[in-house]
Structure 1
Amino acid sequence: MAQSSQPPAKLNIGTAKEPPKLRGFMHDDFPIIRQACIRLGLCLAFATLLIGGTHFFYLQQNELQLQAQTELSQAQGKYTYATNEKNDIREFQPAYIQLVERGFVGEEKRLDVVELIQTIQAKYRLLPMSYEIFPQQTVALDPATPSGELELRASKLVFKMNLLHEMDMLNLFKSLRERGQFINQSCAVKTSNAVSANLLPNQLEAECSLQWVTMSRRVAADLAPPAQTQ
């Protein structure tokens, strides 16, 4: 059997292809968008700075507004207080002036009271009398009563007098009350045992105690806070 004489077929082995090269983002893609990212970062930074500045400005303006509202409220409160004081002064000024004229408001004027007693005695032709004004004392008020810088004071005034009749005593007290705040405390009247040389009716002897009340400002030492001892 005849064999073929063909030469063996040659394998055509070419060069092997290289695998596809992988693309890296930072190496291949980022350079393309690097400028855009930089611009985006700058825009974000600028936007953050702008938002922060706006917020800071808003807080400042809000604080200034609150301060302005507080000052406005204080000014309105002072205006209301001044208006109320003005109305109170207008309402109570006549009564206050009357109390000052009567000697209730202010310091004691003892010389004026002495002259007033002499005037009353001459006006009603009263019999000789003696009187004594005791030292002034502070009147204790109820702590719940608002008195501010004012305090109530009283001086005891004791009269010893001879009377033709009771009206002499009543006229004296009435005239005193017209010029001051005199409050009757006690009064004892009895018939005199003395014999009148002029055959006058039996005289009366009276011993009366009054409180002369005034209101004035406290002494500066009383207004000062107490000293603290260590």
Structure 2
Amino acid sequence: MKHPPLAALKLSLLLVLAALLLAGGGILWSRGQAQDAGLALQQQRSALNGARQQLDRSRQQQQLIATHLADYQALTARGFIGAEDRLAWIEAAQLANRDAGLYSLDYRLTPRAASLPALARGLPLGQTSMSLTLPLLVETDLMRFLNALKARAPGIYRVQGCRLSHPGDASFEPVNQPRLQAECELLWFTVAVESRTSQ
């Protein structure tokens, strides 16, 4: 029996071995590429889900804004949202005093302070105290003044309290002059609008 020449087969065996090595290397490289592509696909899916969630949140916020825009604009026009309009508050008190047919009015405003957290519910709600002193002829003058102020008030306020007193110890005279004095404290509420700077 004749054996094939080993020298002639050596080249063929080397070519087959090189082809097997190249095929194995190609399989390993393609497996690595497939894993990288799978990771990239997973990252893209995560980014897509995040973008969808953000789009859903934006749509919800847009719907919320559309639902409450008229209320927001009404509160802004009323002076509740934005900067304090102290001059308008003073003018409203003076006009209410005139409408009620009263005699004079003294006022004092304090600086704006933060409201109680229970009132604010997360809003930047502030309050400004206004102290009023006005002479009255009779007790019902105070209610007339407060009703006139309610009709003229350019914002949202609350009457903290009023106190009636008799200034001095003057005896009664049948003259149409104020014999009572009312001291009231009002709280004017405003929501500060945060200024957003563009980046």
TM-score, length basis structure 1 = 0.69
**The residue matched to 1:37 in structure 2 has which SS?**
helix
Q: 1:168 to 1:194 in 2, by over 3 A?
A: farther
Aligned with 1:209 (options 163, 185, 191): 185
Aligned with 2:18 (options 42, 48, 73): 42
Greater RCO structure (CA 8 Å; 6+ sep):
2
Q: CA deviation at 1:203?
A: 4.7
Query: Could you list the runs of 5+ residues in structure 1 that have no partner in the other structure?
Result: 1-24, 221-230
Instruction: Decide whether the 8 Å contact of 1:129 with 1:159 is kept in 2.
Output: yes
Instruction: Decide whether the 8 Å contact of 1:126 with 1:168 is kept in 2.
Output: no
Query: Could you list the runs of 5+ residues in structure 2 that have no partner in the other structure?
Result: none
Q: 1:194 to 1:128 in 2, by over 3 A?
A: farther
Q: CA deviation at 1:219?
A: 8.4
CA distance in 2, matches of 1:93, 1:103: 15
Q: How does 1:165-184 map to 2 (within 5 A)?
A: 165=140, 166-175=142-151, 178-184=153-159
TM-score, length basis structure 2 = 0.78
Runs of 4+ in structure 1 displaced over 6 angstroms?
195-198
CA distance in 1, matches of 2:121, 2:46: 29
CA distance in 2, matches of 1:43, 1:199: 124
CA distance in 2, matches of 1:59, 1:205: 86
**The residue matched to 1:107 in structure 2 has which SS?**
coil
Q: 1:168 to 1:127 in 2, by over 3 A?
A: farther
Provide, for residues 162-183 of structure 1, a one-character-per-residue CA deviation record: whole Å limited to 9, x for no partner: 234243233144235x421211
CA distance in 1, matches of 2:178, 2:81: 41
How much is the aligned-residue C-alpha RMSD, in angstroms? 3.1
Instruction: Decide whether the 8 Å contact of 2:135 with 2:180 is kept in 1.
Output: yes
Q: How does 1:65-144 map to 2 (within 5 A)?
A: 65-141=41-117
Q: CA deviation at 1:61?
A: 1.7
Letter in structure 2 aligned against 1:180: G
Aligned with 1:52 (options 28, 33, 36): 28
**The residue matched to 2:124 in structure 1 has which SS?**
strand
Provide, for residues 164-219 of structure 1, a one-character-per-residue CA deviation record: whole Å limited to 9, x for no partner: 4243233144235x421211212112456657877338753211111111111468
For the pair shown, the structure with the greater C-alpha radius of gyration is: 1
